Structure formats: structure tokens, C-alpha cells
Structure 1
Amino acid sequence: MKGRLAFLERWYEGVKSAARHPNAERTFAGICFIESSVFPIPPDVMLIPMVQAAPQKAWRLATIATIFSVLGGVFGYLLGLFLFDALAMPVLESLGKAEAVTDFSHRVEEYGAIAVFGAGLTPFPYKVITIMSGALKINFAVFMIASVLSRALRFFLVAWIVKTFGPKAEQIMKERFGWFTAGLFVLLAAAYWAYKTLLH
């Protein structure tokens, strides 16, 4: 790999190795926080080997991931709200997320809060969601509810897969997790639509 890709590969391997450190949980919490606004590597990279090493801590680790990811999301929201042009957008562009910004903006215009939930659940970059939610002035309470639900569902799902399938889990994630979460979101969105349409 060359250039940016080589840089990201080094970060990726560094995050994985951090999972074996005695202070791994603190490092993990920090990565979950900063990934929500500026860090390019998803917390799953560290969550997977940590759950593999200590399956009995799967739900504790998923809880840590959820709490600190959402707290980091609040920071990202504030960046988008107050510093989008000066700081947030240049950061997203440097991470190659400019196209994702446009994509998410269109999703919000069409689907509203459910777009925040869907993007938080699927492999769509969460940092784009948090910053653009602030920039687009999405209702903060709605943003928080969608973030908590989607992040909890995602991290507890990852923890369950790793706890259940052990060494095979990482391969399952690489091959099927994106499709699985996208399918799950479609089912939840359909259920929400049916509830709103049929009962209201």
C-alpha cells in the first residue's frame, strides 16, 4: 500500500495490537470516542479481538463501545453545528469522506431521523453522521435517540457474533456483516413504516 492507504493500514494494525495491552479497555473507550468524529478506523477492529480474548466480557465491552461512541457522537455533532466549514469539512475531506457527506445529506432530506439510525447501524462512516447531523441542525434529542439505538444494536450484535462464533467471527464480519446490518435496517425501517401507516 502507498500513501493514505499505507497510513490507514498502519493505524488498523496498531488498533488491533492495542487490544492486547493491559489498559486495553481505556484505549478502546478512547478510540470509540474519537472514531465518532475524526478517527478513520472503526471500533469493531478492537472490539473483535477483545471479545475473542475474553468472551465473558462481551456485553461489558459492547456497553463501553456504545457509551463512548455516543459521547463522541455528541462531540461530532457540536463540531458540525459550530465549526463545519472551518474544521469539520476539511477533516472529512482529508479522510476521503466528501462523497459520503453528500450522500448522507440527501438521505436526511428524504428520510429524516431514520437516516441517522440506519447510517449508525450499517458500515456507513459514523463520523459523517455525527458531524452532518450538527451541520444540518437535526433535532438533538432525535439524534441522540437514533445514535443510542443504532450504536447499541451494532456493537451488541458484533459482540454476540464474536462470542458465538469465536475465531470464525472476523471472517464472517468481513464477508457478511455489511449486508446483514443493511438487511436488518431495511426490516426495521419496513416495520416502522408499517406502524406509522397502518396504526396512525
Structure 2
Amino acid sequence: MFQAVIDFLKDYGPWGLVIHSFLDAVIFPIPAFFTQVSLSLINPTSALWLATVGYIACLVGTPVGYYLGKLMGKSVLYRFLKKEWIDAATDKFQKNGEAAILLGSFTPIPFKVFTILSGVLNFPLWRLMAYAAVGRAAKFYVVGAMFYLYGRSAESMVKDVSLYIFLIATPIILIFLFIRAKVRKKRRLAEQAKQRDSVSIKIMSL
């Protein structure tokens, strides 16, 4: 059944990838990665174009998944997706929503979990779109670039592409979060000091 779905979508060429990528961000259980790879194998010179249409369709589908979660809540997740996926994604969101979206863009956890969960947990849509744009670009364009540069021989290389991106991106994201936390702490301390100074001035003026 899995392969039959991929073959069906592949018959529609780039439009099949558009449909798959859109649904991948909403509710479809099979990642668009497989259709992208199948089409890139047919014509590696079009791999970057396929990455582009798949990427755009995924971003268009992202707010649809978001509002689906916002309107229908976790019942949607538990009905269509595995409990362990939901629990893993929820745990990541509780620790840091931005990191969850970035890492979720190229981990084995289906991306629609993160779009729907963002709506369920009222995560700001603009932030979901911003971080999804970065994470999904990495996933689509790394695959596209590998097929464009290495042709059909890239098929064996892209099987572990999610793992490679994850290993490279994780330390970068952690460094970003560490720096951001330091900046926020410094800003918060500065604001507290400013408030204390303002109170002291008011007391002295009395």
C-alpha cells in the first residue's frame, strides 16, 4: 500500500510532489521525502526544481495543519498519528518550541505532528512558519542538491540524509538557543535594573 501510494503520486510528476508535500504538513502519514526521491531518480537534473515545489507546497500546508490543531485539538493527533510520536513532539515543545520545530523538520517524527501540535498548544503561527521555513528548506534542498550533483547514485546517499542533517543541525541549534538565553537574561536583568532605578528616583523625589 505504501509503495502503491508513492507510485500513484509519482505518475503526476511535480504535481504529485506538490500534493504530497502539502498533505505531509497537514495529516498524510507518509513523508513527502519518498515522492521527492522517486521523482529525482527519474530526472536528476530537475531535482532542485522538485525541491522548490515540494518546499513551497509544504509551507502552504503548514498553516492548514496549524489551524486543524487549533480547531480540533489533540483528538486529531491521537486519531491519526502514533501516540509515541505525539508524546515525543509534546515533550520537545514543552522544553523549547522553536528547537522542536527546527529539529522536527528533518527527524523521523512526521512534520504534521508539529504543525498540528503548534495549533493545539497555541504556538504563534508566524514563529511556526519562520522556523519551518528554515528546517524544511534544509530537508528538501539537501536531497535536491545531492541528486542534482551526483545523479542517480545519490539514492543510496539520501537514505540517511535526515540523520546527517540532524547531527549537523543539533549542535548549531543548541548554540543558538544558548546564546539567545544569555541575551534574554541580560536584557531581563537590564530591564529589572532600570525599573529599580525608576523606583529609586520616584522615592527620592518624594
TM over 0.5: yes
- Which runs of 4 or more aligned residues in structure 1 lie more than 4 Å from their structure 2 counterparts after TM superposition? 197-200
Q: CA contact under 8 A between 2:101 and 2:131: conserved in structure 1?
A: yes
Aligned position for 2:176: 192
Q: Does 1:170 align with 2:155?
A: yes
Q: CA contact under 8 A between 1:35 and 1:69: conserved in structure 2?
A: yes
Report which of the two structures shows the higher radius of gyration computed on alpha carbons.
2
Aligned position for 2:200: none
Deviations 1:5-59 (A, max 9, x none): xxxxx2334314532x2x3111210111111122111111111122222223222
Structure 1, unpaired ranges of 5+: 1-9
Counterpart CA distance in 2 for 1:144 and 1:11 is: 29
Distance change in 2, residues 1:161/1:17 (3 Å) = farther
Counterpart CA distance in 1 for 2:105 and 2:43 is: 26
- Post-superposition shift, 1:120? 1.0
Q: CA contact under 8 A between 1:12 and 1:45: conserved in structure 2?
A: no
- With normalisation by structure 1, the TM-score equals 0.82
Aligned position for 1:5: none
- Post-superposition shift, 1:88? 4.1
Counterpart CA distance in 2 for 1:123 and 1:18 is: 21
Counterpart CA distance in 1 for 2:178 and 2:66 is: 30
- With normalisation by structure 2, the TM-score equals 0.80
Q: CA contact under 8 A between 1:37 and 1:73: conserved in structure 2?
A: yes
Q: Tell me, what secondary structure is at the counterpart of 1:60?
A: helix
Q: Does 1:41 align with 2:24?
A: no
Aligned position for 1:180: 164
Counterpart CA distance in 1 for 2:94 and 2:107 is: 19
Alignment of 1:1-200 (within 5 A): 10-16=1-7, 18-19=9-10, 21=11, 23-92=12-81, 97-174=82-159, 176-193=160-177, 195-196=179-180
One-letter amino acid of the counterpart of residue 162, structure 2: G
Q: CA contact under 8 A between 2:68 and 2:119: conserved in structure 1?
A: yes
- Post-superposition shift, 1:198? 6.6
Counterpart CA distance in 1 for 2:113 and 2:181 is: 30
Percent identical among aligned pairs is 22
Q: CA contact under 8 A between 2:17 and 2:54: conserved in structure 1?
A: yes
Counterpart CA distance in 1 for 2:178 and 2:93 is: 20
Counterpart CA distance in 1 for 2:26 and 2:3 is: 17
Structure 2, unpaired ranges of 5+: 187-206
Q: CA contact under 8 A between 2:66 and 2:116: conserved in structure 1?
A: yes
Deviations 1:50-100 (A, max 9, x none): 2222223222111111111122121111111011245443122xxxx2111
